[in-house]
Chain A
Amino acid sequence: MSTPNDAPPRIGVDEWVARSGERRDRGSGPSAAIVRALERVGWWQRLAVIAAIVALFPLLTSSDYAVRVGVNTLLLATLALGLNVVVGWTGLLDLGYVAFYGFGAYGFALLSSNQLGSSGIHLPSLLAIVIVVVAAALLGLLLGLPSRRLQGDYLAIVTLFFGQIFVETVTNVAPKVTGGPNGVVGIDPLNFFGLEVTTTRGYFYVLLIVTVVIMGALHLIDSSRTGRGWRAVREDPLAAALMTIPVNKVKLLAFSVGAAVAALAGTIFAAFQAGAYPTDFDTPFLILVYAGVILGGSGSIAGAVLGATVVSVTLELLRNPSQAATLFYGLILLTLVVRVRPWRKLGAVLAALVAFGFAVHAVIGAISASAVAGHPRSGGWVGDALGSWVVVPADPKGPGNIAFVVLILGLVALVQLKGTARTVLLVPLLYLAAFVWETRLVAEASITRQILLGAILIVMMNARPQGLLGSKRVEVL
Chain B
Amino acid sequence: MRNGDRAASDAILLRLEEITTHYGPIRILEQVSIEVGEGELVCLLGGNASGKSTTLKTILGLVRPTSGRVLLRGEDVTNRQVSYRVGRGMAIVPENRRVFAPLTVLENLELGAYLRHGEDLREEFERVYTLFPRLHERGDQLAGTLSGGEQQMLAMGRALMSRPRLLLMDEPSMGLSPALVEQNFEIIAQIHATGVGILVVEQNANMALSIADRGYVLQTGQVVLANRSSELLASDELKKAYLGR
Contacts and interface: CB of A to CB of B under 8 A. Distances in A.
Interface stretch (A232-240, A347-355, A409-417): A232-240
Interface string A214-225: 000000000001
Interface string B70-102: 000000000000110011000010101111111
B165 interface: no
B102 A231 contact: yes
B4 interface: no
- Interface size on A, as a range, is 20 to 34
Interface in A241-289: 241-246
User: How large, as a class, is the contact surface on chain B?
Assistant: 35 or more
B114 to A, nearest CB: 5
Contacts, number: 86
B103 interface: yes
Interface in A1-23: 1-2, 18, 21-22
Contacts of B102: 231, 235, 299, 471, 473-474
A134 to B, nearest CB: 25
B124 interface: no
Interface string A147-172: 00000000000000000000000000
Contact of A476 (B87, B110, B137, B144): B144
A229 B111 contact: yes
A477 interface: yes
A106 B138 CA distance: 50
B140 interface: yes
B107 interface: yes
B136 interface: yes
19 contacts: A2-B137, A225-B114, A225-B117, A229-B114, A231-B103, A232-B100, A232-B103, A232-B111, A235-B102, A236-B98, A238-B98, A242-B86, A243-B86, A244-B87, A244-B162, A299-B102, A471-B142, A476-B97, A477-B148
Given A242-B60, A474-B102, 15 more contacts: A2-B137, A2-B139, A18-B147, A228-B110, A229-B114, A231-B102, A236-B100, A239-B99, A242-B86, A243-B86, A243-B111, A246-B83, A474-B142, A474-B143, A476-B101
Interface of A: 1-2, 18, 21-22, 225, 228-229, 231-232, 235-236, 238-246, 299, 471, 473-477
Interface of B: 60, 62, 82-83, 86-87, 92, 94, 96-103, 106-107, 110-112, 114-115, 117, 136-145, 147-148, 151, 158, 162
